[in-house]
Structure 1
Amino acid sequence: MASHGILLVDKPGGLTSHDVVARTRRAFGTRKVGHAGTLDPMATGLLVIGIEGATRLLTYIVGADKTYAATIRLGARTTTDDAEGDVVDTADAGAWTDVDDAAILAGISTLTGAISQVPSSVSAIKVAGRRAYDLVRAGRASSSQPAP
């Protein structure tokens, strides 16, 4: 018989949340496995998995506060808005003359605190039934904004 409970997984980069769920299903011998929020394949971090009866608890976890930590590369723009895309533009050396710690802190201040997150074009959100990151990497532009 399969176990019941919550499993906390430190998801590595390169795996989708579905990959982790599939591995959990095999490991615990059950089909009734779910997760409390999709992490993009490139993202690492906590993925909360519910097994058997505990899947109904995931509803309460999904709405919980989250904290994100990121490393930012300044001065480069990529095809996918993330580190996996091809660099398509870089800042001129002159653009760096006014960049100091205060300017960087001012620039990222809008990304700190309580904000409404807007998924990037390469997020795991579904657009027309397909993951946004699949559409972008297939060469098609996508709007990752969900339909109303």
Structure 2
Amino acid sequence: MTNAIETRLAELGITLPGAPAPAANYVPFVRSGDLLFVSGQVSMKDGAFVTGKVGADMTVEDGAAAARACALSLLAQVRAACEGDLSRLKRVVKLTGFVNSTTDFTDQPKVINGASDVLVEILGDAGRHSRSAVSAGALPFDVAVEIEGIFEIA
């Protein structure tokens, strides 16, 4: 039986990627009670890193698209943690977004909106969350965006 989140993804024409494997010595997620802590997901498209520095060789819109991709990878990790059953996802609690940006770039919140917007589009009110959006002078693999998340699950 298809659940409401999977139905909504299909309505939006969104296919979640596979849950990316960790790139170093950490686990992709940890559950503590009803909270699921998902490790930082980096910007990827079609299996390749989305790289660049926002404010130099990437626009805010490019960065927002990269953040959107991170959000979909976060949901893929949630699905993996819930053994394939996204109906166990109750809400997004918090996102922390890191933007590979120039020192004079100050629109990090607009970049991370790419993630926030798609989560609300998919999950409705359950996608609304607290959030931090910060600049990073560099990110692993020169990716444009990395986002970690905390989710409430059943």
Calculate the TM-score normalised by the size of structure 1. 0.22
Give 1 or 2: higher strand fraction: 2
The structure with the largest alpha-carbon Rg is: 1
Higher relative contact order (CA closer than 8 Å, sequence separation 6+) = 2
Give 1 or 2: higher helix fraction: 2
Calculate the TM-score normalised by the size of structure 2. 0.22
